[in-house]
């Protein structure tokens, strides 16, 4: 539902959405977005959909064309359309009544300076430009980011909307780089993340997954690394190629003494996972933490601590998880234990 809110907000001209596999992001943010942006209030004239491969570009194009061909209401609103493959040798539709055009291309095709008559692209949708193989090839990641910045972003003009869709590939993927650019104010825009369940195991798409048992059926089909990365959108280091938070467990009293400051920092707001702020009231109940770049070390006494459960609580669905109230109680308990241990150390030092 929040995805629709993003599309309807005219102020959002650069939108980056990371969503779990099978989330319907392409249906909403790609196909529905294209049709609504031409027919609806935005009145876009030249839409470009960029995909990773030619095959994916063809699939996206076919979905849009089939919807236009077989949806009677859309046919009445859009009127006739013409294929324009001969001119560009690409997947292209011209919508006669609206004097608009839809073009679907792969990321390898050159689209620098492309126009429809004299109109520059006013909606650009980049849908899954990377796959999991990008995790192992930094050169390709660098090339894709450079091409996005130098060729895709400058395609439009004032008022052009750019929408980037994808899954979590790795910490250095295109979407994560764009997230960082937005956070560092190098790029004006908004980044949103939509996992299949939040950190408290609340289900985001309840119409499709009615209860946690349905989620567990899906969870059982995938290795924990794939589940964490592609469905929970978390970087937890389940393989040598995944970035992960540095986690230290205190084992002895000496270690506790040595890591006292780190433990204290781990329980401050600065070290807690930033919660994604809801854009609509329906999303306020969800506890969603976007994947982070270079998280500082986290120090724990036990695996049942609240912040550790925030990291791994929705990875292992066969184990219970604390609710928010229980987490607050546990944090207060840990803080009290910490103060008591600190006082004991001071008393011992004063003897």
Q: DSSP character for 228?
A: I
DSSP E strand boundaries for 155-313: 161-166, 190-194, 247-249, 298-300
Answer yes or no: is 75 within a domain.
Answer: yes
pLDDT in tens, 304-315: 666 666 677 787
pLDDT at 98: 78
Residues 286 and 341 both lie in one domain: yes
Domain membership of residue 159 as a residue range: 2-194
* Any domain includes 206: no
Q: What is the pTM of this model?
A: 0.79
Instruction: Indicate if 183 and 320 belong to the same structural domain.
Output: no
pLDDT (0 to 100) of residue 330: 61
First and final C-alpha spacing in the chain = 63
Tokens for 249?
A: 């467990």
Q: Has residue 202 been placed in a domain?
A: no
Same domain assignment for residues 68 and 186: yes
Q: What pLDDT score was predicted for residue 341?
A: 73
Count of the separate structural domains present in the chain: 2
* pLDDT tens, residue order, the chain (351 aa): 799 999 899 899 999 999 998 888 888 888 888 888 888 888 899 999 999 888 888 888 888 888 777 777 766 665 665 555 454 445 888 877 778 888 988 888 888 888 888 899 999 999 999 988 888 889 999 999 999 999 999 998 888 999 999 999 988 999 999 999 999 999 999 999 999 999 888 999 988 899 999 999 999 998 888 888 899 998 876 654 454 454 555 444 444 444 455 545 555 544 456 789 999 999 999 989 888 766 655 666 566 666 666 677 787 777 665 555 555 666 567 667 767 777 776 666 665
Residue 199 domain flag: no
Strands (E) located in the chain: 14-19, 46-51, 81-83, 91-95, 100-106, 123-127, 161-166, 190-194, 247-249, 298-300
Both 136 and 81 in one domain: the answer is: yes
- Which domain-ending residue is among 194, 229, 251? 194
Question: At 71, which CATH number?
Answer: 3.40.50.300
């Amino acid at each position: 539902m929040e995805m629709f809110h993003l599309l309807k907000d005219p102020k959002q001209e650069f939108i980056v959405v990371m969503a779990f596999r099978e989330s319907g992001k392409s249906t909403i943010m790609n196909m529905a977005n294209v049709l609504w942006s031409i027919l609806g209030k935005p009145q876009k004239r030249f839409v470009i959909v960029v995909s990773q491969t030619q095959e994916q570009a063809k699939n996206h194009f076919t979905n849009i064309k089939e919807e236009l061909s077989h949806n009677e209401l859309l046919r009445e609103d859009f009127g006739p359309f013409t294929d324009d493959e001969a001119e560009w040798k690409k997947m292209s539709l011209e919508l006669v009544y609206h004097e608009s055009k839809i073009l679907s291309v792969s990321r390898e095709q050159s689209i620098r300076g492309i126009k429809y008559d004299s109109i520059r692209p006013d909606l650009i949708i980049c849908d899954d430009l990377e796959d999991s193989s990008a995790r192992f090839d930094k050169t390709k990641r660098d090339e894709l980011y450079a091409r996005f910045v130098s060729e895709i972003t400058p395609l439009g003009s004032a008022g052009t909307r750019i929408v980037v869709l994808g899954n979590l590939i790795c910490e250095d993927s295109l979407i994560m780089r764009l997230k960082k650019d937005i956070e560092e104010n190098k790029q004006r825009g908004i980044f949103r993340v939509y996992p299949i369940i939040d950190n408290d195991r609340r289900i985001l798409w309840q119409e499709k997954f009615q209860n946690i048992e349905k989620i567990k059926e899906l969870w059982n089909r995938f290795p924990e690394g794939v589940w964490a990365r592609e469905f929970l959108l978390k970087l937890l280091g389940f393989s040598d190629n995944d970035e992960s938070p540095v986690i230290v467990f205190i084992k002895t009293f000496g270690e506790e003494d040595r890591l006292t400051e780190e433990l204290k920092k781990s329980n401050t707001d600065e070290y807690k996972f930033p919660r994604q702020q809801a854009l609509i009231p329906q999303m306020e109940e969800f506890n969603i933490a976007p994947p982070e770049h270079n998280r500082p070390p986290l120090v724990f006494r036990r695996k049942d601590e609240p912040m550790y459960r925030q990291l791994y609580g929705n990875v292992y669905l066969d184990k219970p998880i604390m609710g928010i109230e229980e987490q607050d109680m546990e944090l207060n308990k840990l803080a009290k234990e910490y103060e008591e241990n600190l006082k004991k150390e001071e008393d011992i030092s004063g003897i």
